[in-house]
Structure 1
């Protein structure tokens, strides 16, 4: 199976990718869209004519972002709706209030390398926010996605997934010493596995899901990691938020992705599966365990169980 390539690459921006796409009459939801990659993803989708909803924790910040998007694109201001992915009640309120079809769902929001924290249900915060909340959001919106007939889910993962597979017997660090990067890596692997299993289960409904690495971008995501001064990535590999959002917009709009799901992209192209670090260019490659269909099915079952019980 050949890897998917496109005319776009490292330096392409979200608006570059969106140019020529027409999503007039289509509806999109972008989580974490009040800043960073989320607002640039939403801006590009609004520029295509899509009706965009910004799903955000901070509604006031979301309203500011919506006004800015309207001013810079000439489109109608996006709708803003509250969503806290770490709170199952908030996710349920969002999905319960949604009416009509949904064409594009972008799982963009996330936290990175946070200090050890747990939700009231006992879920480790990064796993709860980055994976479980988005899992509940997508399953809660399944009917709306299926109603479109050709819906896409775009899942923002990270090369950080190579830090850790999903440790199924201890996802909440009940027995392991907590490590913020292992927890982040586990949650990002879960993002890719979700795309694999969602496509397998829902392709018959016209729903496909793909995951991506946006690149190294300085945003609020790095609030716990030292930010711009951390020196972890060479300067030549740093992207702007506009460039970082490009792959998300590609997966949401490109006809090259019609009917295709369960894959992983970086720099606007599908990236190779690898078995060990060093087998791919920096910030590229997807670990084989992140695309494992058995692991994907197991994670789906575990996620359903955790959400049903509300306990770890």
Structure 2
């Protein structure tokens, strides 16, 4: 039942978006007469039902982490990782139950995570931007999106507040591309599928229907979609349609963990929660792939 409801997420968005539109029209005092004639309880019920059904996500049965290759090469740091807790991103939306974000360790030239300024840093200022992204397992590309532009980071106080309060919510209801940005989905022989998100515009290197092998390049790291700075977001699902998918745990078999903490992520580097995937790096941990 959960999967059937979740598959219809675009439908449940309709009353939510109509409710938002009515709110704007109400503020402007230009609500059409035929809409004003609808009893308010009917409108409120429809919106509430849409919100409740939109929040229904599938859940996978208990399973061991799927063994995969890392999607990058070299030194990287993890955050929002299943090595810290589950759900790693605080949600099961779009199969993200055990998603992980990774980025290159900072250098002296890397912009601060948060600074006092009027303009945000450009994506080109970050060491992760343009880095190659590789397939974690062999499979066939089932979807790509490459039209989103690389936006500036969200590393000023005003932009970070905007992202946390409004932008993230708007992207969540605006569709998969608005949230994931440029992305690639690869379906594997066992029916699982991996999502590679926030890729650079012009950097997607594959097309739908293409067969890829483990280690084949899929694209480049960018700063598209719901991203505060250039990084790679990856997650594994039990099917290729994110709206109907349950998130799956995975582990990378070809990484060396250093137990070293990236200084810019030291504040979130804590002991893993009891449900964490202990074979994956915890928040802030640097690893070599």
Normalised by the shorter chain, which TM-score bucket?
under 0.3
Of the two structures, which has the highest relative contact order with CA contacts closer than 8 Å and spacing of 6 or more?
A: 2
Task: Answer 1 or 2: which has greater strand percent.
Answer: 2
Give the alignment's TM-score, normalised by structure 1.
0.23
Give the alignment's TM-score, normalised by structure 2.
0.25
Q: Which structure has the bigger radius of gyration?
A: 2
Task: Answer 1 or 2: which has greater helix percent.
Answer: 1
